[in-house]
Amino acid sequence: MASIKDVAELAGVSRATVSRVLNETGQIKEATRDRVHAAMKKLNYRPNPLARSLATSSSNTVGLVVTSYRGSFFSELMAEVQEEMDQQGKFLLVSRGKRSRESEQLALQRLTDMRCDGLILHARNLYDEELIELAQQETPFILLDRQVEGLEDRCIAFEHAEAGKLAVEHLIQHGHQKIACLAGPRERLTARLRFQGYEQALREHHIDLDESLVAEADYDRQGGYQAMAEILERHPDITAVYSCSEEMCVGAFDLFREQNMTVPGDISVISFDSVSICTMLTPAVTTVHFPIKEMAAKASSALSSLMNHQPLRKLDTFKPELRQRESVRTLK
């Protein structure tokens, strides 16, 4: 690989000059600039980004921390971020923090070690304090789908509880009383919030919470299947289900099919969704929409602003939206 030195020699100038034409900094005579360009072409020269980063302690790179690569949800999230960064000419580094705080710390460290110019964190397990501490450092970052006090201006938030309540109320308004809940893993804050929405809706409508109507799963299809099976075993007479994720909803449908249950004839279904898997099911299921795509886009553009030292337009939290389809029937 040709280095700046080779270019300098071939062009008969100093490395400093080459660097200047490279970065279009300072004044250079057109003649020499041309010579340098020619040399670069001839040697097929590409600046070494590592050396560059080392020298400037910046990298033309932004880092993204996610918790998984699996599933359309993260696909969509990454794709959206990538697109913005393409426009900004930034290289995107993605790092996965699995399910633990340690692992997220590691993911974050790697990215900061790489001297990213900015970060987008979809971090579920880092402590608020760590984040606040991170905010002392100078590299800008945005928190995706998270709310931490004192960092409001960096948070792209969503009202999960509100959304859950909206969904369950929809069911109640259609006459349902015995409503099952496919809940997400209790360790996750957002899962707890979605569950709280369920609780609130019931409470406000004076329906007692029956824990045996709730089953927890890992947000995935298989888990949804099992959770649904458990509940149905205990309560064959439920008239509706509220699913806290699309994948779990698919799992529930797997079971329904197996048991020849029809939706919404035998059971009504409402679910969270973000990537419209729910519209692939038959019948298309009514959902509350978690707009991860728009949120990711917002996070990206907000980060871009930060990196360009532009003032941050106020970040408003995203609101849930009910998408009525064909999976809820009204009970007389």
Partner DNA sequence: TTGTAGGCGTTATCAT
Partner DNA sequence: ATGATAACGCCTACAA
Would you tell me which residues interact with a copy of itself (CB under 8 A)?
Answer: 46, 48-51, 53-54, 59, 68-72, 74-76, 78-79, 82, 91, 93-96, 109-110, 113-115, 250, 253, 257, 277, 280-282
What 3-state DSSP class applies to 65? strand
* Residue 27 binding result from a copy of itself, DNA, none, given CB thresholds of 5 to 8 Å by partner type: DNA
Q: Does 26 bind DNA (CB under 7 A)?
A: yes
Distance in Å, CB of 250 to a copy of itself, minimum: 5
Report the C-alpha gap between 306 and 147 in whole angstroms. 18
Q: Could you tell me which of 274, 229, 220 has the C-alpha nearest to residue 250?
A: 220
| 8 A C-beta contact, residue 120 and residue 62 | yes
Token reading at 253: 């449908």
* Residue 97 binding result from a copy of itself, DNA, none, given CB thresholds of 5 to 8 Å by partner type: none
Report the C-alpha gap between 128 and 111 in whole angstroms. 19
Report the C-alpha gap between 280 and 284 in whole angstroms. 6
| 8 A C-beta contact, residue 261 and residue 211 | no
| 84 burial level (CB within 10 Å; 0-12, 13-18, 19+) | buried
Distance in Å, CB of 134 to DNA, minimum: 19
* Residue 14 binding result from DNA, a copy of itself, none, given CB thresholds of 5 to 8 Å by partner type: DNA
Token reading at 70: 């699996």
Distance in Å, CB of 133 to DNA, minimum: 20
Distance in Å, CB of 216 to DNA, minimum: 43
Q: Does 42 bind DNA (CB under 7 A)?
A: no
String of DSSP letters for 168-215: HHHHHHTT--SEEEEE--TTSHHHHHHHHHHHHHHHHTT----GGGEE
* Residue 317 binding result from a copy of itself, DNA, none, given CB thresholds of 5 to 8 Å by partner type: none
Distance in Å, CB of 164 to DNA, minimum: 46
Residue among 31, 129, 136, 314 that touches DNA (CB under 7 A): 31
Distance in Å, CB of 108 to DNA, minimum: 17
Q: Does 110 bind DNA (CB under 7 A)?
A: no
Residue ranges in 47-66 that form contacts with DNA under rule CB under 7 A: 47-48, 51-52, 54-57
**Contact positions vs DNA (CB under 7 A):** 1, 3-5, 12-17, 19-20, 22-23, 25-29, 31-33, 45-48, 51-52, 54-57
